[in-house]
A and B are shown apart, each in its own frame.
Chain A
């Protein structure tokens, strides 16, 4: 398993706020990496720094061995990074088809005809074939999330960031989304999954990293992460963590 993305001591400040502190991370090709952490931990900022929305204040971002730290988003889109947004961002007046076609066209640089083909394929995958002609503004939230996914996939990503794709969905919709994510991973796309729903993270990810106050505090298999007292503390506070540790110890001694 080769290395796809590498962060070397990446930091980002906003004025006096240290949003990311010395984050080093390596992501291998084909991984499904769960990125978790409490609200305000810096998860979205990390994605923004990698994709070039914000520039790292210090450190380097390497993608396939190439330094992409200073690339603007339109360039990172073209080297193979795609993302979905926590708050969906369709082009409201464009049709569903044109939304995806734009993504295929501008990221890959092929012909309009090729973009059309890719768009239809990805819309079929996302189950939106029947909605192609509708303006994106008319879709329901669940459909817009799928449109967002189809757009990201049309960019032929090597690395795909899924930022809270399940937020606001009901449990049936979450099940559908999880199935889609598994299928995408199965097709060989490396995925970074930012997620609040532990159930989703634990069942889909092959590895989980935890961000807290802008720093990475844990990195390991899903089962190890949920047992890590530091992680429990970050999520639930010190006292609860202590109790959890004591409970775990008394469990083992008994």
Chain B
């Protein structure tokens, strides 16, 4: 009976996710490509939600984890290491790196943490750039991945879609488990009042570092899959700052702190992004920016909260929203 999380929507989410696996039997290659990216985006968003939504730390390190995973896995794949092993290694390396970094960086709050996490991607990008023998440096890295004797293009598309989908499923299950666990409970305490959490015996440094590591491990694995899928990676591509910002927008779109919101937010975001790319290629980043501004100014609690607001009966005096707002101002004040 863990009262700090609500149970009902996650069952619906899991059913919908499982149903998504049927896509290769219906979709063509364009649909499959979109489906693969959708799963990848959802992994990024659900992962970011652990550190950003559950622990309340504004991390911009997603790009760092994605790039680290893409290059760790990519280098291994390029040397003929099997895909599963490459993914596992990337996950492990990223987990360890995030624990270490988290232990140091999570002492910082607010803007300072945000900048430090942003700088991690820059440092990794430069390191990747200069480790030319290993990574190919600025020239990029080719990853000639063989999926077994003469696999067709269609087979490859289905394969990578299903792999990304399976990773998303594992990621969602893991995060759902965390949310219901002692760790999730402790993170909720930390987010709302870190010093009070410390006072009741929550090992805040450990919990925050675990949250940071969890927010990195699946992202890194997705990075490896991405590298294998596109066969070629280069630093500006996989350490792109947009990879750090998009998951935040997706989560804000879906409602901060909600796993189902993060998944829906990722899918909706991809839909919008694709639409904009096809129709206004020249101004796609401007439209993305416009979307962000509108979202933050007019829907601060995302689509989920809009739905809640509509459902809420007038007799209950918006207790949840009041608590939410107060918590927000507490958080704002903590950084202010």
Direct contact between the two chains A and B in their complex (CB within 8 A): yes
Q: Which residues from chain A sit less than 8 Å from chain B, CB to CB?
A: 51, 53, 72-74, 77-78, 83, 85, 89-95, 97-98, 101-103, 105-109, 112, 116, 134-135, 137-138, 151, 155
Cβ of B202 within 8 Å of any chain A Cβ, yes or no, is yes
Tell me if B199 and A93 are in contact (CB < 8 A): no
If A78-B201, A112-B1 touch, whether A92 touches B323 (CB-CB below 8 Å) is yes
If A74-B203, A97-B3, A137-B327 touch, whether A91 touches B198 (CB-CB below 8 Å) is no
Chain B positions 161 through 186: 1 when the CB is less than 8 Å from some CB of chain A, otherwise 0: 00000000000000000000010011
What are 21 A-B pairs with beta-carbon distances under 8 A? A51-B199, A53-B195, A73-B195, A85-B196, A85-B199, A90-B193, A90-B196, A91-B196, A91-B197, A92-B327, A93-B188, A94-B4, A94-B192, A95-B4, A98-B185, A101-B3, A102-B202, A103-B200, A112-B1, A112-B182, A137-B327
Tell me if B326 and A137 are in contact (CB < 8 A): yes
Give the nearest-CB partner of B204 in chain A: A74
- Contact partner, A102, options B200, B324, B326, Cβ 8 Å: B200
Identify whether the interface residues of B are mostly helix, strand, loop, or mixed: helix
Q: Which residues of chain B are near A83, meaning CB under 8 Å?
A: 199
Tell me if B182 and A105 are in contact (CB < 8 A): yes
- Contact partner, B200, options A77, A93, A95, A138, Cβ 8 Å: A77
If A98-B3, A116-B1, A135-B323 touch, whether A74 touches B196 (CB-CB below 8 Å) is no
Q: Which residues of chain A are near B204, meaning CB under 8 Å?
A: 74
Q: Which residues of chain B are near A112, meaning CB under 8 Å?
A: 1-2, 182
Q: Which residues from chain B sit less than 8 Å from chain A, CB to CB?
A: 1-4, 182, 185-186, 188-189, 192-193, 195-204, 319-320, 322-324, 326-327, 330
Tell me if A91 and B323 are in contact (CB < 8 A): no
Minimum Cβ distance to chain B for residue A212 (Å): 27
Q: Which residues of chain B are near A94, meaning CB under 8 Å?
A: 4, 188-189, 192
Tell me if B198 and A93 are in contact (CB < 8 A): no
Instruction: Report the separation of the CA atoms of residues A72 and B192 in the bound assembly, to the nearest whole angstrom.
Output: 20
Tell me if B201 and A93 are in contact (CB < 8 A): no
Instruction: Report the separation of the CA atoms of residues A188 and B160 in the bound assembly, to the nearest whole angstrom.
Output: 64
Q: Which residues of chain B are near A74, meaning CB under 8 Å?
A: 198-199, 201-204
If A72-B198, A94-B4 touch, whether A137 touches B323 (CB-CB below 8 Å) is yes
Minimum Cβ distance to chain A for residue B174 (Å): 19
Instruction: Report the separation of the CA atoms of residues A93 and B187 in the bound assembly, to the nearest whole angstrom.
Output: 13
Q: Which residues of chain B are near A93, meaning CB under 8 Å?
A: 188, 192, 323-324, 327
- Contact partner, A134, options B197, B202, B319, B330, Cβ 8 Å: B319
Tell me if A89 and B195 are in contact (CB < 8 A): yes
- Contact partner, B322, options A97, A109, A138, Cβ 8 Å: A138
Tell me if B201 and A91 are in contact (CB < 8 A): no
Minimum Cβ distance to chain A for residue B210 (Å): 14
Q: Which residues of chain A are near B186, meaning CB under 8 Å?
A: 102, 106
Instruction: Report the separation of the CA atoms of residues A91 and B327 in the bound assembly, to the nearest whole angstrom.
Output: 9
Instruction: Report the separation of the CA atoms of residues A136 and B195 in the bound assembly, to the nearest whole angstrom.
Output: 17
- Nearest 4 pairs of A and B residues by beta carbon: A77-B201, A107-B201, A106-B201, A89-B196
Q: Which residues of chain A are near B189, meaning CB under 8 Å?
A: 91, 94, 102, 106
- Contact partner, A89, options B2, B193, B320, Cβ 8 Å: B193
If A98-B3, A112-B2, A138-B323 touch, whether A92 touches B330 (CB-CB below 8 Å) is yes
If A116-B1, A138-B323 touch, whether A92 touches B192 (CB-CB below 8 Å) is yes
Instruction: Report the separation of the CA atoms of residues A53 and B322 in the bound assembly, to the nearest whole angstrom.
Output: 30
Minimum Cβ distance to chain A for residue B98 (Å): 21
Q: Which residues of chain B are near A101, meaning CB under 8 Å?
A: 3
Minimum Cβ distance to chain A for residue B325 (Å): 9
Tell me if A151 and B200 are in contact (CB < 8 A): yes
Q: Which residues of chain B are near A109, meaning CB under 8 Å?
A: 201
Instruction: Report the separation of the CA atoms of residues A89 and B199 in the bound assembly, to the nearest whole angstrom.
Output: 10
Residue from A72, A77, A85 whose CB has the most chain B CB atoms within 10 Å = A77
Minimum Cβ distance to chain A for residue B184 (Å): 11
Instruction: Report the separation of the CA atoms of residues A90 and B330 in the bound assembly, to the nearest whole angstrom.
Output: 11
Instruction: Report the separation of the CA atoms of residues A116 and B185 in the bound assembly, to the nearest whole angstrom.
Output: 13
Instruction: Report the separation of the CA atoms of residues A98 and B193 in the bound assembly, to the nearest whole angstrom.
Output: 14
Instruction: Report the separation of the CA atoms of residues A220 and B319 in the bound assembly, to the nearest whole angstrom.
Output: 49
Give the nearest-CB partner of B325 in chain A: A137
Instruction: Report the separation of the CA atoms of residues A151 and B193 in the bound assembly, to the nearest whole angstrom.
Output: 14
If A105-B185, A137-B322 touch, whether A73 touches B198 (CB-CB below 8 Å) is yes
